[in-house]
Amino acid sequence: MAFFLGIDGGGTGCRAALADDQGRILGQGAAGPANIATDPRGAERNILTAAQSALREAGLASADKVSAVLGLAGANVSASARALTDRLPFARIRVVSDAVTAATGALQGADGIVAAMGTGSVFAVQRGGLMQQYGGRGFLLGDEGSGAALGRTLLTEALRAEDGFASRSPLLSEVLRELGGVEGVIAFGLRARPADFAAFAPRVIKPGDPAAERIFAAAVAEIGAMIDRLQHGAPLPVVFLGGVGPAYAAALAGRWPIHPALGSGLDGALLLARQEV
């Protein structure tokens, strides 16, 4: 009997599911972040931890009959994907961007645009069975509108307010106190990973603070303009995913048809794994 492993790994966590050739889920597992571009060794450990948990739950002692598709943050860096593939124990392995598995699960073959807005951000467009990824360039060079970008902008504004270059607000004063003032914010920024910045995002998307509202409004305008460009004049439904996805869906309601996801990134990884054979 053949077995199929799907893995959905992003900047916050990694999930795995093992299925048989009928699509029945036999085992599942979870572990920490799995961005193979920013932390390849940590991602590898978490991927194997989640996969091994799924195998154990299914009662499999080895992975020699497992076909695996891994949808991972950072997999658009092909060197990172190749290096990981060489170290994994599965019989067949395909590593793709988490945008591909998210869009596959969300759209289930239909045309549409997927905006995955989590710790990072990435977009996928499917037309006529062909899928194209956009964005997902990482925290330093992209990830527009992501949780990490929102958190970073919040801390930037807190420092600007302390210098008198931006208006103070209760939230800006709050984060300055929490982190120990200007020096504390700078120290945090030097050691923080994207997920650490993203932990501030829920306070940015929560209404009521003028600085937070200003930051989120700018992000909404940017993401809206990007999705407009991806439409290419032929309106497609949009699916928002990720921790901050619902906030963007609410803020951009009425601009295009916004549909719920038909499945998860893990569903997409399993679907692709079963198509590999």
Same domain for 130 and 243, yes or no, is yes
Q: Do 61 and 138 sit in the same domain of this protein?
A: no
Q: CA distances (Å), 17 to each of 29, 56, 59, 171, in order?
A: 7, 11, 13, 40
DSSP-assigned letter for residue 66 = E
User: How confident is the model at residue 277, as a pLDDT?
Assistant: 52
181 and 103 together in one domain: no
- Tokens found for residue 173: 């004063």
Q: Are strands 66-72 and 3-9 parallel, antiparallel or unpaired?
A: parallel
Q: Give the count of alpha carbons within 13 A of 237, CB side only.
A: 13
183 shares a domain with 269: no
- Provide the number of structural domains found in the chain: 2
| pLDDT given for residue 276 in this prediction | 65
The alpha-helical segments, DSSP class H, found in the chain are 40-58, 78-85, 98-107, 147-163, 170-179, 181-191, 194-198, 201-205, 210-231, 245-251, 265-276
Run of H or E including 69? strand 66-72
Output the pLDDT for position 244.
95
Together in a domain, 205 and 226 = yes
Does residue 91 share a domain with residue 55? yes
What is the distance, to the nearest Å, from the Cα of residue 2 to the centroid of all Cα atoms in its chain? 29
CA distances from residue 258 to 101, 115, 199, 250 in whole angstroms, order as listed: 19, 11, 26, 9
Regarding whether 136 and 235 lie in a shared domain, the answer is yes
* pLDDT for res 111: 93
Three-class SS of residue 14?
A: strand
User: For the chain, percent helix, then strand, then coil, each to nearest 5?
Assistant: 45, 20, 30
- Tell me: do 94 and 137 sit in the same domain: no
Give residue-wise pLDDT tens across range 174-191: 999 999 999 999 999 999
| Rounded alpha-carbon distances, angstroms, from residue 269 to 44, 134, 163, 179 | 17, 19, 47, 39
Write the CATH number for 88.
3.30.420.40
Q: Are residues 240 and 177 in the same domain?
A: yes
Give the up-direction half-sphere exposure of residue 270: CA atoms within 13 A in the CB hemisphere.
24
Domain that holds residue 232: 111-260
* C-beta separation of 23 from 270 below 8 A: yes
Cα–Cα distance, 217 to 18 (Å, whole number): 41
Q: Are residues 240 and 150 in the same domain?
A: yes
The sign of the torsion formed by the CA atoms of 79, 81, 86, 92 equals negative
Give CA–CA dist 11/153, Å, rounded: 18
Task: Quote the pTM value.
Answer: 0.81
Instruction: Measure the CA–CA gap between 265 and 10, rounded to whole angstroms.
Output: 10
Does residue 142 sit in the same domain as residue 38? no
Whether residue 141 sits in one domain with residue 20: no
Per-block average pLDDT, block size 10, for the chain (277 residues)? 87 88 89 86 91 89 84 80 83 87 89 92 88 84 92 96 93 95 94 92 95 96 95 88 94 94 91 78
Beta bridge partners of 25: 19
Q: In whole angstroms, how far apart are CA 175 and each of 44, 84, 243?
A: 33, 38, 21
Q: pLDDT (tens digit, 9 = 90+) per residue, 134-165?
A: 888 878 888 899 999 999 999 999 999 999 99
